[in-house]
Structure 1
Amino acid sequence: MSKTCQYYFAPHSPWSYLGHERFVALAKAHGAQIDIRPFDLGKVFGVSGGLPLAKRAPQRQAYRLVELARWSAFLGVPLTLQPKFFPVSPDAAARLIIAARLTHGVDTALQLSGAIMRGLWAEERNIGDEETLVQIANSCGLDGRALTKSSQTASVQAEYDKNTEAATAANIFGSPWYVLDGESFWGQDRLDFLERALAS
């Protein structure tokens, strides 16, 4: 019986971007199903004591850039440390990913997630802009216009809210966050631990 890993992430998180392809690959390698759950990290910060980047102490902001550069080089994943369109609201992108899952399934939603995060962090695209999201969806072989329309429905918003509520209930406070058999793994730098858990 295959395992299922819940995948909580915010599409504007550079750490989610750095870990995305590795996570998808290791889940596939171990025959694990992915329960993809984009969530509202800002709301989770509000109840977990987290701070948005602009409100963090200068030394924390500076070290974050050091670590991002370090991980980007180590993984060979291109990343612009201070992209043109960041900070950016992730809500429209998250809803688009949810719409893709509901309409086309998990694999398509994962592909779109990767393209959106790469768009922000490697290609300096504005993932808060509807037209940009349409273009990214089109590049994944989807009907971006139709998918965007679907992403604006009440049912998709309800799914987004449900993911956020589930994240709060599970004591999640960061992105990305993986849950396997009730065990939490926070951050792309915990993927080695997650892989060992999948292999056990």
Structure 2
Amino acid sequence: MAHIDYYFSMLSPYAYLVGDRLEQSAKRHGATVTYKPFDIVAAFPRTGGAPLPARHPSRIAYRAQELPRQARKLGMELNMTPAFWPTNAAPSSYAIIAAQKAGGGDLPGLVHCLLKACWVEDKDIADDAVIKSCLEGAGFDPSLADSGLLSGAETYAANLEQAVSEGVFGSPFFITDSGEKFWGQDRLDDLELYLAGKI
């Protein structure tokens, strides 16, 4: 059975655009997925990247065209100027880590609920009420937002170190157990072809 480590940032609009496609692809090919939220802002200077305000104007302008274009292609809503962005990505990341450890709910649904809250619904995903609402909606105990803080923080830090050591430099980033790497939501089709043994 194939396995995918999925590295992503809760600040990433491209991670929002993944939607449910990763999980659907994994199901079609009998693959498992480990969700690994990480601190992309801390990763940038270690991997040659830069936060959005520090990028060249041409890169910022391209992003402003590309994101809405990709959203339209996927039939997804996207707010390019969310009310709470950037925000503290740690609390929602901790909740995802705690939910994955606890099991029993819809983890992909939780991730998408939180990302949609930021990129469509103008909610602050650092807000405890927003996190607990998404946990409950995805079938998890909302108290995981509190009880998972310590272990979540430790895993979040470990995810960053593992991401850097494995060559992750952006979000979303997918690594198979055979070491194949795919960067970007627009590479999910390639990941699917790889899982199918076609490339």
CA-CA distance at 1:174 after TM superposition: 0.2
- The letter of the residue matching 2:119 is W
1:176 to 159, 165, 172: 172
| Contact 1:11/1:38 (8 A) holds in 2 | yes
Deviation at 1:92, TM superposition (A): 0.9
Instruction: Give the conservation status (yes or no) of the 8 Å contact 2:117–2:123.
Output: yes
Task: Note the alpha carbon deviations across 1:72-95, whole angstroms, 9 max, x for none.
Answer: 000101111111111112111111
Per the alignment, residue 184 of structure 2 pairs with: 187
Spell out the pairing of 1:113-192 with structure 2 (5 A cutoff).
113-144=111-142, 146-153=143-150, 155-180=151-176, 181-192=178-189
Deviation at 1:22, TM superposition (A): 1.0
Percent same amino acid at aligned positions?
A: 37
One-letter code of the match for 2:98? A
| 1:175 to partner: Cα distance | 0.3
Identify unmatched segments of 5+ residues in structure 1.
none
Contact 2:113 2:134 in 1 (8 A): yes
Unaligned runs of 5+ in 2: none
RMSD, matched Cα: 1.3
* SS of corresponding position for 2:189: helix
Q: Quote the Cα distance in structure 2 between the aligned partners of 1:82 and 1:123.
A: 11
CA apart distance, 1:138: 2.3
**Alpha-carbon separation, structure 2, partners of 1:9 and 1:133:** 17
> For the residues of structure 2 that align with 1:179 and 1:173, how far apart are their CA atoms?
12
Name the CA distance, whole Å, in 2 between partners of 1:195 and 1:136.
28
TM-score, length-normalised on structure 1? 0.93
- Does structure 1 conserve the Cα–Cα contact (< 8 Å) formed by 2:107 and 2:138? no
Q: Which protein has the bigger helix share?
A: 1
Query: Per the alignment, in what secondary structure is the counterpart of residue 68 of structure 1?
Result: helix
Contact (CA 8 Å) 1:174, 1:186: kept in 2 or not? yes
